[in-house]
């Protein structure tokens, strides 16, 4: 409230001459503030005579209930709750602002939003006091180092987990600094901070499960051909194209623009149903990245599989359909694991078929630019670093080594 110069003079005169007692005014203002706060919250008296207040826990998202014997006591609980949560910028509250801004600006896909929110919930739980209750104005390097080390240790973070943690911290705290919630520089902190040599948990990968060996691919191919269902044909098509499973399940007949050519224009993505509050699968009418929007070259075998799927699903909107209903990535992944068990090999995801496809091309000396286009990667380095695996069987490798070092 602003007073005019004349009103200020009157107020000053009244206080100087004892017409207004400043202590009484302060008490009245404090009482008004208290009442204003209490009106924002709902509390009630139960049939047992006790007073109740319900609130939502910011970490777990669950509702919690507190009871007290008198109305005054429950009001004190509410005032304390307000003081601890309102008008305070913490990691938890600022994360919500940061992620909301990204959603509004269209910077994140729905699947990424789900991932960020799930990760944040896990990271904040590692040190509830700092994440939920500590005002960002108080943050410093000592507090941040303890928090980061504790989170790495308690959650047994791998290199990938630490990278996700760092991304969220950097994003939230840079946003907070931009909004002037804090002057703390997280960028400066991470310039100096390096996790200890043995701090991060190493991911244990079963030997030979990063992709499929050639002998396994032959067994799998024979099994898929033997059964020949739509799900089997879908896996065969992926085996011959290296498509992402989300790209595979959203293919339409019209994407096969001409013989031996296939347009990739859409993919599956995850979202949260706003009414049911559960994860759903939807179709994104654009590819995963700009590079993913591509024209693929098809082999004769690929074209034959597509022609067969067109015939089976004639009149269906999507190529990979069963009884007129589009199959999802989850269903295709489940079917691959089922077939792997049936032929006696370690069950793996469809992404391993994609790696195997890339490894076969690179191992055969196909130009990396061609392989990168087929896979829909932005950088050739990505293809070489993450998709080039040894898919030769042991007997073949022994023979190659013997032939090389023969004296």
Q: Could you tell me if 142 and 278 lie in one domain?
A: no
Q: Could you tell me if 252 and 283 lie in one domain?
A: yes
Q: The domain spanning residue 321 has which CATH number?
A: 1.10.443.10
Q: Could you tell me if 326 and 380 lie in one domain?
A: yes
Model confidence at 144: pLDDT above 80? yes
User: Does residue 121 sit within a domain?
Assistant: yes
pLDDT at 13: 64
**Residue 223 contacts residue 340 (beta carbons within 8 Å):** no
- Residues 323-349, mean pLDDT to the nearest whole number: 94
pLDDT at 289: 74
pLDDT at 109: 79
Q: Could you tell me if 244 and 157 lie in one domain?
A: no
User: Does residue 21 sit within a domain?
Assistant: no
Q: Domain ends where: 35, 67, 87? A: 87
- Residues 139-148, mean pLDDT to the nearest whole number: 95
pLDDT at 319: 95
CA dihedral angle for residue 133, residue 138, residue 141, residue 144, rounded to 10 degrees: 10
Per-residue pLDDT tens digits for 168-210: 999 999 999 999 899 999 999 999 999 988 899 887 655 567 8
Q: Could you tell me if 114 and 167 lie in one domain?
A: yes
Task: Give the whole-angstrom CA distance, residue 83 versus residue 77.
Answer: 10
Average pLDDT, the chain: 85
pLDDT band (50, 70, 90) for residue 70: very high
Model confidence at 1: pLDDT above 60? no
pLDDT at 401: 47
Q: Could you tell me if 119 and 258 lie in one domain?
A: no
Residue of higher predicted confidence among 110 and 8: 110
How many Cβ atoms from other residues are within 10 Å of residue 406's Cβ? 6
Q: Could you tell me if 377 and 278 lie in one domain?
A: yes
SS (H, E, C) the chain: CCCCHHHHHHHHHHHHCCCCCHHHHHHHHHHHHHHHHHCCCCEEECCCCCEEEEEECCCCCCEEEEEECCHHHHHHHHHHHHHHHCCCCCHHHHHHHHHHHHHHCCCCCHHHHHHHHHHHHHHHHCCHHHHHHCCHHHCCHHHHHHHHHHHHHHCCCCHHHHHHHHHHHHHHHHHHHHCCCCCCCHHHHHHHCCCCCCCCCCCCCCCCCCCCCHHHHHHHHHHHHHHCCHHHHHHHHHHHHCCCHHHHCCCCHHHCCECCEEEECCEEEEEECCCCCCEEEEEECCCCCCCCCEEEECCHHHHHHHHHHHHHCCCCCCCCEECCEECCHHHHHHHHHHHHHHCCCCCCCHHHHHHHHHHHHHHCCCCHHHHHHHHCCCCHHHHHHHCCCCCCCHHHHHHHHHHHHCC
**Residue 152 contacts residue 199 (beta carbons within 8 Å):** yes
pLDDT at 45: 93
Task: Give the whole-angstrom CA distance, residue 277 versus residue 271.
Answer: 10
Q: Could you tell me if 371 and 236 lie in one domain?
A: yes
pLDDT at 304: 93
User: Does residue 398 sit within a domain?
Assistant: yes
pLDDT band (50, 70, 90) for residue 274: low
pLDDT at 23: 63
User: Does residue 201 sit within a domain?
Assistant: no
Q: Could you tell me if 393 and 278 lie in one domain?
A: yes
User: Does residue 326 sit within a domain?
Assistant: yes
User: Does residue 200 sit within a domain?
Assistant: no
Model confidence at 279: pLDDT above 80? no
Q: Could you tell me if 232 and 371 lie in one domain?
A: yes
Q: Domain ends where: 192, 223, 251? A: 192
Q: Could you tell me if 116 and 233 lie in one domain?
A: no
Task: Give the whole-angstrom CA distance, residue 287 versus residue 264.
Answer: 7
Domain enclosing residue 81, as ranges:
53-87
User: Does residue 42 sit within a domain?
Assistant: no
User: Does residue 6 sit within a domain?
Assistant: no
Residue of higher predicted confidence among 288 and 189: 189
Per-residue pLDDT tens digits for 23-62: 665 676 677 878 888 888 889 999 999 999 998 776 677 8
Q: Domain ends where: 132, 162, 192? A: 192
Per-residue tokens: 14: 């009244």
301-320: b (≥16 Cβ within 10 Å) or e: ebbebbeebeeebeebebbb
Q: Could you tell me if 182 and 123 lie in one domain?
A: yes
Residue of higher predicted confidence among 4 and 356: 356
Count how many domains the chain has: 3
pLDDT at 383: 74
pLDDT at 97: 92
pLDDT at 389: 64
């Amino acid at each position: 409230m602003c007073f005019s110069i004349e009103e200020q003079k009157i107020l000053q005169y009244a206080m100087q001459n004892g017409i207004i007692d400043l202590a009484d005014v302060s008490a009245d203002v404090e009482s008004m503030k208290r009442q204003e706060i209490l009106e924002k919250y709902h509390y009630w008296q139960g049939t047992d005579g006790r007073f109740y207040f319900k609130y939502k826990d910011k970490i777990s998202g669950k509702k919690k209930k507190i009871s007290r014997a008198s109305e005054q006591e429950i009001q004190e609980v509410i005032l304390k709750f307000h003081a601890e949560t309102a008008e305070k910028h913490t990691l938890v509250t600022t994360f919500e602002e940061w992620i909301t801004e990204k959603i509004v600006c269209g910077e994140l896909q729905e699947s990424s939003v789900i991932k960020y929110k799930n990760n944040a919930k896990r990271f904040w739980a590692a040190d509830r006091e700092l994440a939920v209750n500590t005002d960002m104005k108080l943050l410093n390097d000592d507090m941040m180092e303890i928090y980061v080390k504790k989170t790495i240790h308690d959650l047994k973070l791998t290199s990938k987990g630490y990278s996700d943690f760092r991304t969220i911290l950097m994003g939230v705290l840079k946003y907070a600094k931009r909004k002037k919630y804090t002057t703390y520089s997280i960028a400066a902190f991470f310039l100096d901070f390096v996790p200890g040599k043995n701090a991060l948990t190493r991911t244990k990968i079963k030997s030979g499960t990063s992709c499929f060996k050639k002998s396994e691919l032959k067994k799998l191919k024979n099994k898929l051909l033997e059964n020949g269902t739509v799900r089997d044909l879908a896996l065969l098509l992926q085996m011959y194209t290296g498509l992402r499973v989300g790209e595979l399940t959203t293919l339409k007949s019209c994407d096969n623009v001409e013989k031996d050519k296939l347009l990739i224009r859409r993919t599956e993505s995850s979202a949260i149903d706003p009414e049911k509050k559960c994860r759903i699968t939807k179709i994104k009418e654009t590819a995963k990245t700009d590079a993913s929007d591509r024209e693929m070259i098809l082999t004769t075998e690929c074209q034959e599989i597509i022609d067969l799927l067109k015939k089976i699903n004639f009149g269906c909107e999507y190529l990979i359909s069963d009884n007129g209903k589009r199959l999802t990535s989850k269903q295709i992944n489940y079917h691959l694991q089922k077939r792997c068990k049936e032929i006696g090999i370690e069950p793996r995801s469809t992404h391993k078929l994609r790696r195997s496809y890339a490894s076969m091309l690179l191992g055969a000396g196909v130009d990396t630019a061609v392989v990168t286009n087929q896979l829909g990667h932005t950088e050739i380095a990505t293809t070489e670093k993450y998709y080039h695996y040894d898919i030769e069987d042991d007997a073949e490798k022994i023979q190659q080594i013997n032939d090389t070092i023969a004296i």
